[in-house]
Amino acid sequence: MVDRFTEFKDLKNIDKTTMISVLEESFRNVLAKMFGTDENFDVIMNPDKGDCEIYQNLKVKPDGQVDNPNMEIGLSEAREIDPECEIGEDVAKEIIFADFGRRAILNLRQTLQAKILELQKDAIFSKFKELEGEIITGEVHQIWKREMLLIDEDQNELMMPKEEQIPGDFFHKGDTVRAIVKRVDNTNNNPKVIVSRTDERFLCRLFEQEVPEIHDGLITIKAVARIPGERAKIAVESYDDHIDPVGACVGIKGSRIHGIVRELRNENIDVISYTGNPQLFIQRALSPAKITSIRLNEETKKAEVFMHPDEVSLAIGKGGLNIKLAMMLTGYNIDVFRDIAEGEEDIYLDEFRDEIDDWVIESLKNLGLDTAKAVLNAPMELLDQADLEDTTLQHVMQVLHAEFDD
Nearest alpha-carbon partner for 52 in 61, 60, 41, 43: 43
CATH topology for the 2-126 domain:
N Utilization Substance Protein A; Chain:P; domain 4 (3.30.1480)
Would you give per-residue pLDDT tens digits along the chain (406 residues)? 444 545 554 545 566 777 778 888 888 888 888 888 888 998 888 776 667 888 989 999 998 898 998 899 999 989 999 998 999 999 999 888 777 778 777 877 888 788 888 888 888 898 999 999 999 999 999 999 999 999 999 889 999 999 999 998 999 999 999 999 999 998 888 899 999 999 999 999 999 999 999 999 999 999 999 999 999 999 999 988 899 999 999 999 999 999 999 999 999 999 999 999 999 999 999 988 888 889 999 899 999 998 887 788 888 888 889 999 999 999 999 998 877 655 556 787 887 888 899 899 888 888 878 788 888 888 888 888 888 888 999 999 998 888 777 5
Cα Dmax for the chain = 126
Chain centre to alpha carbon of residue 56: 51
pLDDT of 149: 96
97, 44 Cβ separation under 8 angstroms: no
How far is residue 233's CA from residue 33's CA, in Å, rounded to a whole number?
63
Please, what sign has the CA dihedral across residues 153, 155, 161, 162?
positive
112, 105 Cβ separation under 8 angstroms: no
Per-domain residue ranges for the chain? Answer: 2-126, 137-198, 349-405
pLDDT of 261: 94
14, 120 Cβ separation under 8 angstroms: yes
Nearest alpha-carbon partner for 195 in 170, 153, 161: 161
CATH topology for the 137-198 domain:
OB fold (Dihydrolipoamide Acetyltransferase, E2P) (2.40.50)
Tell me the pTM. 0.67
